[in-house]
Structure 1
Amino acid sequence: MQLDHRAQTLLKALVERYIADGQPVGSRALSKISGLDLSPATIRNIMADLEEMGLVASPHTSAGRVPTPRGYRMFVDTLLTVQTLDENAVEFRLQPRHQSGSPQRIISSAAQVLSSLSQFAGVVLTPRRESVFQQVEFLRLSEKRILLVIVGPGGDVQNRLLLTDVDYTRSQLVEAANYINRHYGGLSFDDVRTRLQAELRQLRDDMTRLMQAAVEAGSDAMTENNDEVVISGERNLLSVSDLSSNMSSLRKLFDMFEQKTSLMQLLDVSSKATGVQIFIGGDSQLMPVDEMSVVTAPYEVNGKVVGTLGVIGPTRMAYERVIPIVDITAKLLSNALSHN
């Protein structure tokens, strides 16, 4: 869709004014703020053309116009002037968590920084941790009580208590551990689960049950406490009139926060792209609420993209300010995790 200079200037002025005060923008106001030497009649004609293109709409209660999702899309893709942001100010907020030595704390801090700087909700899709193990060991605690010890590739250790139907001897536990380590060490528990179904038929039933129990417990141990999406500042959205005035939209929004499925899908899609991505409600099938937008960017660890972060807010957000917040936070998080 091509717009001439006058139409571009008027659309940009309309979107910026509407983002600033949330009120429909009339032709008289546009003639003052656009800097164009045009009569109100000419402006009205151009606005009528923009409305026919689906870029602006006229609310029934006002003679002014508001941007549509399509209008927001053209604005952010072709007309937006991004503000500069002091990178040091963002890094200062993240820095205390750099020294903690915990990637999870750094990620949580990044979500909080995104929320506090944007005054909306900050989200981070955490790096996916595969349930890969290096070796396992069974320790007999008492009759029918076994401690499963799981050693990960990095040397981290997880323990799980197994309650069994059979009282296994120490030699049986050593035999089972040796079998698992020899055949499956270095694989994920999901891969082991699939192979067990075919390969363990030749073993005794009681040993099969022990190994299957170990795989289930091991998979749970390796993936628990791994919040796939960290969210901060959801309550900020309650004060956004565009969202809070519509209970149906607000309910859908918080359902998304609670269930996280659609949010994870959206963040996962953006992790496959380069740089900042903008999803605008009504313009993207991934967005459950028409009045909501998400600005995202992928982050890396040692040059490899491992997750995505972003800001969730209303479509009427100051994109020129939120975009650099997301972009710089992604770069600083990448640096912090790579050197952690």
Structure 2
Amino acid sequence: MAEQDDAKLAIREMSARAQEIFRLVVEGYLESGHPVGSRSLSNEGGVNLSPASIRSVLADLESAGFLAAPHVSAGRVPTTTGLRLFVDGMMQVAEPSADERAAIERRLAQPGPIEQALETTSSLLSDLSGAAGMVLVPRREPRLSQISLVQLGPGRTLAVLVGQDGAIENRLLELEGEFGPPALEMASNYITAHLSGRTLAEAAGAMRAEIASGRSALDEASRDLVERGLATWTQDAAERPVLIVRGQANLLDEAAMSDLERVRSLLDDLENKQSVSELLASAREANATRIFIGSENRLFALSGSSIIASPYHDREGKVVGVLGVIGPTRLNYARVVPMVDFTARSLGRLIG
């Protein structure tokens, strides 16, 4: 909200004709991907000023940091600051039509497992935006029923987790110090007693609270083992995000061909899914769709890309993941932002 307030203040401080010229330049750039010059603004009849007067306003907007001239006499393009100003203070979003909303819901409602719906969502976002669609898959949090700790050797312990659905997962714990069979058995029994019907995160919270309060019957060695094990398991879960990306080929459009280095950098960003996942995850607590523009974010300092991201919720209102679109900064924000928002709400209703 503060950013939007700042943008509206900056716009109010512009003259009416500066606002209009700035808007036309940004909209022209977002539509074509090319710089917009004074002659085209004059010829199109959108501004009732001479090319010389328009050039004077463009120069003022450039001095203010809202526009830039990539080449001599080649017109202007919005800077990252200018795009942020436009998005937060001037953009009029175009809500999806009834037909578009029906098409989105129809595609998401196709029968199949939830994994298929997530794949469909990523492809759908790509089709809607003409860029690449992304879905950050909710972390799998099975409800566990049992755990066994088995000593493999000095400092090495195998944790065998059994889910209520019968799934078994093994994790190797690298632990300092020696833990004999009695300590392992005590820790196993203690953790299993707290796991019944809970996710690992829920069980970890309950166990830490009990240990901190001194209510647990564990000896010092077993408490240490439980605490180190919990740290390893929760860190392991957090470092395994699943990011589905579809539509990378859309990034190689005609405009991109003139800036292959930027596109190569963007594709490298997408290959580094951990960094992109972390950026998307930062939108989990947002109350609305978030927009990350170009060099505002360190990840896209070289590629000059933008992300439009929105969290999606289950029917109880809990955030379970994030979806979005990634592409060049000249994305059609006015159309894509509401599309991403509506798709997030539709997916939320589907996953329940």
Distance 2:280 2:185 in 1: 43
Match of 1:228 among 237, 242, 245: 242
Residues 62-115 of structure 1, C-alpha deviations (whole Å, 9 max, x = no match): 34111111111111112212223221121122121xx32x32222221111101
Is 1:281 the equivalent of 2:299? no
Q: What is residue 304 of structure 1 aligned with on the other side?
A: 318
Distance 2:306 2:141 in 1: 31
Residues 268-300 of structure 1, C-alpha deviations (whole Å, 9 max, x = no match): 221211111111102333534442111111110
Q: What is residue 265 of structure 1 aligned with on the other side?
A: 278
SS state of the match for residue 267, structure 1? helix
Matched residue type, 2:167 = Q
**TM-superposed deviation, 1:117:** 1.6
Q: What is residue 109 of structure 1 aligned with on the other side?
A: 120
Identity %: 37
**TM-superposed deviation, 1:330:** 0.6
What TM-score do you get using the length of structure 1 for normalisation?
0.76
Distance 2:92 2:57 in 1: 22
**TM-superposed deviation, 1:177:** 6.0
**TM-superposed deviation, 1:308:** 1.2
Q: How does 1:231-250 map to 2 (within 5 A)?
A: 231-239=245-253, 241-242=255-256, 245-247=259-261, 249-250=262-263
SS state of the match for residue 123, structure 1? strand
- 1:25 touches 1:66 (CA, 8 Å); kept in 2? yes
Distance 1:290 1:81 in 2: 26
Residues 11-59 of structure 1, C-alpha deviations (whole Å, 9 max, x = no match): 1111111222222211121123363322222211111110001111112
- 1:126 touches 1:308 (CA, 8 Å); kept in 2? yes
- 1:270 touches 1:296 (CA, 8 Å); kept in 2? yes
- Distance verdict in 2 for CA 1:71–1:162, change over 3 Å: closer
- 1:31 touches 1:39 (CA, 8 Å); kept in 2? yes
Q: RMSD of the alignment, in Å?
A: 3.9
Is 1:252 the equivalent of 2:265? yes
Q: What is residue 200 of structure 2 aligned with on the other side?
A: 188
Is 1:20 the equivalent of 2:34? no
Distance 1:285 1:105 in 2: 32
Matched residue type, 1:62 = S
Q: How does 1:33-112 map to 2 (within 5 A)?
A: 33=44, 35-85=46-96, 86-96=100-110, 99-100=111-112, 102-112=113-123
Matched residue type, 2:127 = S
- Distance verdict in 2 for CA 1:274–1:243, change over 3 Å: farther
Q: What is residue 328 of structure 1 aligned with on the other side?
A: 342
What are the ranges of 5 or more consecutive residues in structure 2 without an aligned counterpart? 1-9, 150-157, 173-183, 212-216
- 1:281 touches 1:293 (CA, 8 Å); kept in 2? yes
292-301 or 20-29: which moved more? 20-29
What TM-score do you get using the length of structure 2 for normalisation?
0.73
Q: What is residue 141 of structure 1 aligned with on the other side?
A: none
Is 1:158 the equivalent of 2:158? no
**TM-superposed deviation, 1:161:** 7.3
Residues 229-273 of structure 1, C-alpha deviations (whole Å, 9 max, x = no match): 2211123223363377232x3343233222222212211221211
Matched residue type, 1:49 = D
Q: What is residue 154 of structure 2 aligned with on the other side?
A: none
- Distance verdict in 2 for CA 1:56–1:290, change over 3 Å: farther
Distance 1:34 1:286 in 2: 39
Match of 2:133 among 99, 110, 122: 122
- 2:265 touches 2:303 (CA, 8 Å); kept in 1? no
Q: What is residue 4 of structure 2 aligned with on the other side?
A: none
- 2:38 touches 2:54 (CA, 8 Å); kept in 1? yes
